[in-house]
Chains A and B, each alone.
Chain A
Amino acid sequence: MELHALTIAQAKKLLADREISSVGLVSAMLDRIEAHDAKVGAFLTVDRKGALAAASAADARLANGEDAPLLGIPVALKDLLCTTGVRTTCGSKILEEFVPTYDATSVDMLKKAGAVIIGKTNMDEFGMGSSTENSGFHVTRNPWNLDHVPGGSSGGSAAAVAARMCTASLGTDTGGSIRQPASHCGIVGLKPTYGRVSRFGLVSYASSLDQIGPITRTVRDAAIMMNVIAGHDPKDSTSAAVDAPDFTSALAEFDANGLSGMKAGIPKEYLGMEGLDPEVEKAFADARKVLEDLGVEIVEVSLPHTDYAVAAYYVLAPSEASSNLARYDGVKYGARQKDADGLIDMYKKTRSKGFGPEVQRRIIMGTYALSAGYYDEYYGRASRVRTLIMDDFAKAFEGCDIIISPVAPTPAFKIGENVDDPLTMYLSDIFTLSANMAGIPGLSVPCGISETGLPMGLQILGKRFDEMSVLRAGYGFEQSAPSFPGLPEL
């Protein structure tokens, strides 16, 4: 039995039946990391000691007959989530030595649910990027084809799951950073509704858009993870005071009643969009057919402000980032450059040397957009666009339960291909970032593989706090789609 290939649901059963041990499972993952991560580059920090200790503790609890939702399951965390005593770099040189003194709420909940934290995964610096090439440390490669990017910014978390170096992982999604790498790596990623999962301990990139979510092998595993991390947190004023449902019951609902009666909207603005890869277009058409065969009624909807979404997003997100990243100035946080001549020079050297070019670009954009005399033209206008996009979705959802689209316009591109072209990179977020602007949930589920062997994903968006419809449709699709190659060989 290949322990590393197990899903959460499979591993949980074997652990409960005492057929495998958590130490065995975690060791298999550690061996896998040892063997393959030099070429994949999914991890920034592997907590071998901590993971084995937590696995032993889990085994003791299992031997006692205890049960917990993730007891003994190895999970990796995007390195943007704070972990007590384990460094949290955010993929940035400026935080290379930063060791938090507290756990993010989501991490705390994982630990309480018995999960074993195996390590911290690579990412685009502070979440800014779509390829994980913007990491301050090293690039992460796509396990399906090492010449290609895994997507980003949660590229390390997605690659680690696809390469079976952990059973599941957490990512964060500000404009598509969970869904797009999940799509590029042929796995499942869910960005929950804004406010569904506490952001406390998630190092902010753009506070009003950031959301933590699971990256898993299957839709069922995503639902199991959601049951652990979702819920109101008094430490996060923007977390919603809504009770979290049992997300796995969405799956039972499909098993019992299928998808008939469900309506899926396809935004007319997304069809025939310039830059849409023909293979992506075909995979999406095939996916649509699968859903129709399951009894889903496809309707056309309209999101008239789609054209403005990318521009507005790239005003709002950098504006918030310019403020969120101000604390890395070398005084209390951020690796201080020592050869400075006075305070201002220290600020300049620390931030010029500590931040990578993409982060600096966004800080400059955001600072400009917020400055006196430009605020109304940029931040103010972008905020109004955001409201219009929210209204678009609200209106579209009057006629459907879910909205479907490709996750990304193309399969994963080659490493280095778009490095000098930030605009193309920004435009590749077109299908995903609107969900962040509107605060709605979105799922990425594998729907095809290109001729060159790169996966492509189907995006399913839902109404605010209606992850249930999204999971039900995603699970139905996953169960019914023609066989997918599964996992890449390494």
Chain B
Amino acid sequence: MRFEPVIGLEVHAQLDTETKIFCSCSTSFGASPNAHTCPVCTGMPGVLPVLNHQAVTFAIKTALATNCTVARESRFDRKNYFYPDLPKGYQITQYAAPIAEHGHLDIELEDGSEKRIGITRIHMEEDAGKLIHDPDRPKSMVDLNRTGIPLVEIVSEPDIRTPKEAGAYLRKLHAIVRYIGVCNGNMEEGSFRCDANISLRPVGQEEFGTRTELKNLNSFRNVEKAIAYEIQRQTYRLEEGHKIVQETRLWDTARNRTASMRSKEEAHDYRYFPEPDLVPLIVDDDWMTEVRESLPELPDAKKARFMEQYDLSGYDAAVLISGRSLADYFEAAAKGLKEAKLAANWVMGPVLGLLKNGEITIENVPVNAGQLAELLKLLEANTINAKAAKTVFDEMVASGKTPAEIVKAMGLEQVSDQSALDDMVTQVMDANPEELEAYRGGKTKLFSFFMGQIMKQSRGKADPKVITQILKEKL
């Protein structure tokens, strides 16, 4: 029997607000344990939560960017369970009435076609703290800095069928939350986390099979690997006549496999009920309008515009819009050029070549977009040729000087003067009689030899187009 995987993803994205969702503690990462805590986020008896307006704005942004319908009235609930990283003994979340529902994202499949993945709901909640287990100490420690950091949970419909689709959906969602500036997307720090629900069913069957939930998927690669593993594991189990056990499984990064964490029987009864310390959240028209107007152009729209406006291929546009800063860089570099493709090539080539993981980013790359634009304008005006342009670029990186200064100092202006180049061609032909004879005897490949010799003699400044023309005439 052949099986079809049914996959749904639950993504937790930390909202990049200054302060926590129900108090004014800082959300910044990396502080010493419990430095960013107060009576409210540590659940001291008697405290009450007050909802962070910015967090709601970010949740609405996320909802609009994923084509969701935002609820005019949503509510918060308590999810009750005991765990040492949860000081109140409950998490404040949205259960019965989430802030947004019924969205979707379109992903691109390998064959170039598009597929729509539904988004069931987006709800807001507070993050829990972190346990620190030091093998040298008999006790575990609790760090509550993360407690109360605002999260949105984005729940997809079970529309995903392959690990690749899961990866594509996740990458797209990741790009969007970073684009709209609501989440820094750092997966290692846990700012963007993913759980996956997976079940198999015989091809053609409508009813879902028993699902397992995968946790601890802390990179795109791991999401794809873990899902692939789990599909295979479930396939074997079913083929061997076993039943799938509904359970939560943990991805073991070191051993590349999933292992059971807890079964359905051990699952918590969260005893959800309406949070009595908060009032219903009302999002009025003014708030919606304000958020809608603050939304930047989204990746899909930007890609389409780049292809149209700059006459770029789908591939080039996809690379250039992959980050908002990169797209802005490209647009600034292409400004005033006749051929935007020239800027695209330079950005995707030499500029991206300068980036180093984390250290050099598009925001602080040594050649800014304005400087690159100057250089490309010189190239487009035939003031310098392509070879010289690369030399100038390297010098710009090294010295920080402007392209015009460098061209002048290094004497790199292109020589396009017909009579000067005529002489040069004659000299080179005279100096290489054997090659000339061979060429005239049919070895036309030697054309590039002559080109090379002339470029060498002109120290790279000769205009290749003009030389080609002269050479063709004289040879």
Contact = CB atoms under 8 A, between A and B. Distances in A.
Given A372-B269, A375-B273, A235 B50 contact: yes
B49 interface: yes
Interface stretch (A127-135, A200-208, A301-309, A402-410): A200-208
Interface in B255-281: 269, 271-273, 276-279
Interface in B68-92: 78, 80, 82, 84, 87-90
A325 B78 CA distance: 13
A332 B87 contact: yes
A3 interface: no
Contact of A208 (B50, B87, B276): B276
Given A238-B277, A370-B271, A331 B43 contact: no
Interface in B316-365: none
B33 to A, nearest CB: 13
A4 B279 CA distance: 43
B245 interface: no
Interface in A66-82: 81-82
Interface in A137-178: none
A98 interface: yes
A327 interface: yes
Interface string B22-52: 0000000000000000010011111111110
B271 A333 contact: no
B87 A343 contact: no
A95 B45 contact: yes
A379 interface: yes
A371 B268 CA distance: 10
Contact of A202 (B46, B49, B90, B279): B46
The secondary structure that dominates the A interface is loop
Interface residues of B, number: 28
Contacts of A327: 43, 45, 87-89
B43 A207 contact: no
A200 B277 CA distance: 10
A286 B142 CA distance: 61
Nearest to A80: B46
A393 B44 CA distance: 35
B46 A332 contact: no
B269 to A, nearest CB: 5
Nearest to A198: B48
Interface string A101-128: 1101000000000000000000000000
B273 A370 contact: yes
Contact of A333 (B45, B80, B90, B279): B45
Contact of B39 (A88, A102, A319, A325): A102
A323 B79 CA distance: 9
Of the listed residues B42, B44, B84, B90, the one surrounded by the most CB atoms of chain A closer than 10 A to its CB is: B44
A88 B277 contact: no
Contacts of A199: 48
Interface in A288-334: 319-320, 322-323, 325-327, 329, 331-333
A88 B279 CA distance: 27
Nearest to A200: B48
A413 interface: no
Of the listed residues A102, A208, A326, the one surrounded by the most CB atoms of chain B closer than 10 A to its CB is: A326
Interface residues of A, number: 43
A347 interface: yes
Given A332-B43, A332-B142, A323 B49 contact: no
Contact of A326 (B50, B82, B272, B277): B82
A319 B272 CA distance: 10
The secondary structure that dominates the B interface is loop
Interface string A231-271: 00011111000000000000000000000000000000000
B276 A367 contact: no
A199 B277 CA distance: 9
B311 to A, nearest CB: 54
Nearest to B270: A372
Contacts of A203: 45-46
A371 B46 contact: no
A71 B50 CA distance: 32
Contacts of B51: 237
Contacts of A234: 50
A488 interface: no
Nearest to B22: A237
Given A323-B78, A326-B89, A333-B43, A238 B279 contact: yes
Of the listed residues A199, A347, A367, A370, the one surrounded by the most CB atoms of chain B closer than 10 A to its CB is: A370
A190 interface: no
B82 A347 contact: yes
B48 A326 contact: no
A200 B49 CA distance: 9
Nearest to B40: A235
Nearest to A331: B84
A100 interface: yes
Contact of A320 (B48, B269, B276, B279): B276
A90 interface: yes
B88 A100 contact: no
Top-5 shortest CB links A-B: A326-B89, A207-B276, A370-B271, A208-B276, A203-B45
14 contacts: A100-B45, A102-B46, A200-B46, A207-B276, A207-B277, A236-B50, A237-B51, A237-B277, A237-B278, A326-B89, A327-B87, A332-B87, A371-B269, A375-B271
Interface of A: 81-82, 88, 90, 95, 98, 100-102, 104, 199-204, 206-208, 234-238, 319-320, 322-323, 325-327, 329, 331-333, 343, 347, 367, 370-372, 375, 379
Given A98-B45, A207-B277, A323-B271, 6 more contacts: A204-B46, A207-B276, A326-B89, A327-B45, A329-B82, A332-B43
